[in-house]
Chains A and B, each alone.
Chain A
């Protein structure tokens, strides 16, 4: 939008202004190595430093998914004991199976998330079985959204979502420490201000 020529001059050096000094905040109590698929045909990591999710994210996920698992199981058992029916095991079984798979893969999956703050764009990657890499130019960001539920707050983590005009961009960083999330948000907004482009 402010494509006017009186834009502040872009510094050709490594630009996200606070990214350097904030690296310690972004990497505080996170994983240190991005987990990749084993196959040699995988999407390569490339160079540059990847920032990762906070370790607490896995705990939050395990607790919440475990709670769902236990609750569904308990509800199904109670229903069985009270009514004597068995049909509730069909939906309950589906939910239990999905949750159990989630519990098993979450610790590995969480280590596959990564994001890089490059000079002009943010690169985001996730997934092991289904890998996905997205590059979002800073100027395209319309919105930076931070959410955290009660459990997230208890463990001090937050979810950060980048919204562009295209719904398919889909960049959501689920488990940052709250300090990292706020730091990242402010950095992104600062950078986006200077690199604003049209839709």
Chain B
């Protein structure tokens, strides 16, 4: 593996020898965001541990060459006693794998991991994986062929086909095969292709391995072109468990470790559903750094034998007091969405207004010109109907609950998605209320976070809409688990002053009266307030919105001013966070107040970031 800085040519001194400089000997032009805290990385002898991550991303994909990966590895040898047929398919080669990794301290301790799949050795996915990943496609192809052959067979029994003049080649390959008695060869060929495909699937399954170690999750895949992807655990942004319809029928689930960069997710597809659940618990427990904190206390008390014994007894008592850790179990949801409310909320959403406007426009146009225009409503109705069904099906079986490792969100009727997002992974929270929801007192919560998806992935991040609809109590409960660090005295900023504001003694800095033309309806609401932990942005008159930006996650802060703002002595304050659905800027603030807010935010951000420990949230 070569140094990534040299490949990218980011270091100009490397690519332009003429520009030599004393500082050019600096190996990397980057602030490597993904590198491990090297002091705590125990085993530099692991394959790929020398890989110095140099990207924003939490996961790295290295090329085919991994130093040390070519070393003989017993777990890659001949199949061990047909583990594929074993329904419980535990790790069959635990004893052979032990000698592969002499660096035993890399292995997570037994107390932390529950599943044999996350014991720090290379493991395989569920044997039905190829069937779901590529086999379904094969089945479809076979189905199409069979369907065509059926027509062929029907034609064979009806003697209407063979009236071609003798000597003329039939126009169709199947006819050609029949005409030249090649049917056996063709069948043999098809069988060979099938066998090759099956072998390929089997091979790709055998070469697709993963390892969950103390510091990262790694996946190796590919037969000819090897890929090795690793995600450092302290950059894990969430772990989600997706169960598509077909996989659910087979009792399988897809586990996805959400990384911090573009297209940086590490996918373990597929595992058996129960195994996936425990593996997720293991990953989160390892990522939380619980072992680190425990390790520190043990090391501190490791003076004499007596002290060690006392420490052991203390730990035992502590375990008894703590009781068994039920963090893998499904916790009780803190919000229930009644079915009627879910439907009503979708019907009363902004898209319904658009539909109504569209229908009215079409009706008017049709009455003015030709009636045929009315038929263009049909596709619109189909489209909107599909949208409603989809969004309602998504919101069914919704549950959200706190867990020791963060917020656990589950929803979906057909494809069930369950995601756990550790603390400190939410970069901006927005509470908003469309106009039509106001009579009912309903709100929705959405967040910005790193979803680890590629730029080509158009599917929406399931976690972005954390609460599709809820009452004020629901919103408060959800916010409390999304922003647990918010001190109690700041909660008045959220509802009392924020979402429902403004009231008397408004702490928010709002648009000055001289600039009310810039925000004709909402100028009393349009404002911002800064606390030690968060920046609150309040906006909107028809669509009331409150944005909470935790300062510990704020990347940078900006001020903007155009000619209109200059004329009215106002400016726009922008909090720069991870891109997402939440808008994090507020315009038309008084210039001096905005400058003061800018400076204060810049200082508070540094303090908040320095005190932030959430990358290892248990430690």
Q: Which residues of A contact B (CB under 8 A)?
A: 1-4, 6, 37, 39-44, 46, 120-121, 123, 129-137, 139-148, 153, 158, 163-169, 171, 178-179, 182-183, 185-186, 188-189, 192-193, 195-199
User: Is residue B226 within 8 Å, beta carbon to beta carbon, of the partner chain?
Assistant: no
Task: Flag whether B340 is at the interface (Cβ < 8 A).
Answer: no
- Closest A residue by C-beta to B555: A166
Contact with A along B66-100 (1 / 0, CB 8 A): 00000000000000000000000000000000000
Pick from B26, B567, B598: contact of A189, CB under 8 Å: B26
Q: A133's contact among B24, B26, B578, B598, by CB below 8 Å, is which? A: B598
- Assembled-state Cα–Cα distance A44/B260 (Å): 36
Interface-centre pick from A134, A136, A165, A195 (highest chain B CB count, 10 A): A165
Q: Is B561 touching A44 in the complex (CB atoms < 8 A)?
A: no
The distance in angstroms between the C-alpha atoms of A146 and B26, with both chains bound, is 14
Contact A164 B591 (CB under 8 A): no
Do A131 and B560 contact each other (CB < 8 Å), given the known contacts A168-B574, A192-B31, A198-B614? Answer: yes
B595 close to chain A: CB less than 8 A: yes
Interface string of B551-576 (1 = CB under 8 A from A): 01101111111110111111100101
Cβ-based interface call for B234 (8 A): yes
Bound complex: CA of A55 vs CA of B598, how far in Å? 30
B40 touches A132 (CB 8 A): no
Interface of A, helix, strand, loop or mixed by DSSP:
mixed
Question: Which residues on the A side are within 8 Å of B562 (C-beta)?
Answer: 129-131
CB of B59 to closest CB in A, whole Å:
13
Q: Is the CB of A199 within 8 A of B553?
A: yes
Complex: chain B residue closest to A4, CB-CB: B37
Docked Cα-Cα span, A147 to B8, in Å, equals 12
B-chain residues with CB within 8 Å of residue A166 when the two chains form the complex: 555-556, 576-579
Task: Name the prevailing secondary structure of the B interface residues.
Answer: mixed
Interface contact B561-A144, CB-CB below 8 Å: no
Determine if B221 is an interface residue (Cβ-Cβ < 8 Å). no
Asked if B576 and A3 sit within 8 Å, CB to CB, the answer is no
**Are B560 and A37 in contact, CB atoms less than 8 angstroms apart?**
no
Assuming the A-B contacts A44-B595, A197-B609, are A1 and B37 also in contact, with contact meaning beta carbons closer than 8 angstroms in the complex? yes
Q: Is the CB of B568 within 8 A of A41?
A: yes
Q: A174 to nearest B CB, angstroms? A: 15
A123 CB → nearest B CB, Å: 8
Q: Complex formed: what's the CA distance from A184 to B60 in Å?
A: 28
Partner of B569, one of A41, A158, A165, A182: A41
Q: Nearest residue in A to B560 (C-beta to C-beta)? A: A132
Q: Is the CB of B31 within 8 A of A137?
A: no
Asked whether A168 lies within 8 Å of B234 as measured between CB atoms, the reply is no
- Stretch touching chain A among B13-21, B133-141, B362-370, B439-447: B13-21
Closest to B9 in A: A147
A135 touches B23 (CB 8 A): no
- Which residues of chain A are near B567, meaning CB under 8 Å? 39, 41
**B residues near A40, Cβ cutoff 8 Å:** 569
Beta-carbon contact of A134 and B556 below 8 Å: yes
Query: Which B residues, 51 to 72, have Cβ-Cβ distances below 8 Å to chain A?
Result: 55-56
Residues of B within 8 A of A135 (CB): 556-558, 598, 601-602
Task: Determine which of B23, B576, B591, B599 lies in contact with A168 in the assembled complex, contact meaning CB atoms within 8 Å.
Answer: B576
A132 to B561: give the CA distance in the assembly, Å: 7
Residue B481 interfacial (CB < 8 Å): no
A-chain residues with CB within 8 Å of residue B10 when the two chains form the complex: 143, 145-146
The complex places the Cα of A141 from the Cα of B54 at a distance, in Å, of: 12
Tell me whether A137 and B37 are in contact in the complex, defined as CB-CB below 8 angstroms, given that A198-B424, A198-B614 are known contacts: no
Do residues A183 and B602 form an inter-chain contact, with CB atoms below 8 A? no
Cβ contacts under 8 Å, A158 to chain B: 12
For A41, the closest partner residue in chain B by CB is B569
Q: List 25 A-B contacts (CB under 8 A).
A: A1-B35, A4-B37, A41-B566, A43-B561, A120-B606, A121-B602, A121-B606, A131-B560, A135-B556, A135-B558, A141-B31, A142-B30, A142-B31, A142-B56, A143-B30, A143-B56, A166-B578, A168-B558, A168-B579, A169-B555, A182-B19, A182-B24, A185-B23, A186-B23, A189-B28
User: Are A139 and B37 in contact, CB atoms less than 8 angstroms apart?
Assistant: no
Q: Note all chain B residues with C-beta closer than 8 A to A120.
A: 603, 606
Whether A169 contacts B566 by the Cβ 8 Å rule is no
How far is it, in angstroms, between the C-alpha of A189 and the C-alpha of B5 when the chains are bound?
14
- In the complex, what residues of B have CB within 8 A of residue A183's CB? 23
Q: How far apart sit A163 and B10, CA to CA, in the bound complex (Å)?
A: 13
Residues of B within 8 A of A42 (CB): 561, 566
B610 contacts A by Cβ under 8 Å: yes
Residue of A nearest to B18 (CB): A153
Closest beta carbon of chain A to B424's beta carbon, Å = 7
Q: Give the complex CA separation of A2 and B612 in angstroms.
A: 11
What residues of B have a CB within 8 angstroms of the CB of A132 in the complex? 558-561
How far is the CB of A38 from the nearest CB of chain B, in Å?
Answer: 9
Decide if B615 is an interface residue (CB 8 Å cutoff): yes
Q: Is the CB of B37 within 8 A of A2?
A: yes
CA distance A133 to B556 in the complex (A): 11
Docked pose: A141 CA to B613 CA in angstroms:
18
B217 within 8 A of A: no
**Besides A43-B571, A46-B595, A131-B561, 18 new A-B residue pairs in contact (Cβ under 8 A), listed by A number:** A1-B235, A2-B37, A37-B566, A41-B569, A43-B559, A132-B560, A132-B561, A135-B556, A135-B557, A135-B558, A143-B10, A143-B29, A145-B29, A147-B12, A168-B579, A182-B21, A185-B29, A197-B610
Cβ of B33 under 8 Å from chain A:
yes
List residues of B (501-544) whose CB comes within 8 Å of A's CBs: none
Chain A: which residue is nearest B31 at the CB level? Answer: A192
Q: Which residues from chain A contact B260 at a C-beta distance below 8 Å?
A: 165, 199
Judged by a CB distance under 8 angstroms, whether B39 is at the interface is: yes
Interface assignment of B469: CB less than 8 Å from any CB of chain A: no
- Which B residues lie within 8 Å of A198 (CB)? 234, 424, 552, 609, 612, 614-615
Residues of B within 8 A of A153 (CB): 16, 18-19
CB distance from A181 to the nearest CB of B (A): 8
B553/A164 in contact, CB under 8 A = no
Given contacts A134-B556, A165-B555, A182-B13, contact A146 B29 (CB under 8 A): yes
Taking each of A129, A153, A188, A189, which has the highest tally of chain B beta carbons within 10 Å of its own beta carbon? A189
- Residue with the greatest number of chain A CB neighbours at <10 A, chosen from B24, B30, B601, B613: B30
Known A-B contacts A2-B37, A178-B19, A198-B612; the reply to A137 vs B579 at CB < 8 A is no
B240, CB-defined interface residue at 8 Å: no
The smallest C-beta distance from A162 to any residue of chain B, in angstroms, reads 9
Q: Is the CB of B566 within 8 A of A134?
A: no
Is there contact, CB below 8 Å, between A41 and B565? Answer: yes
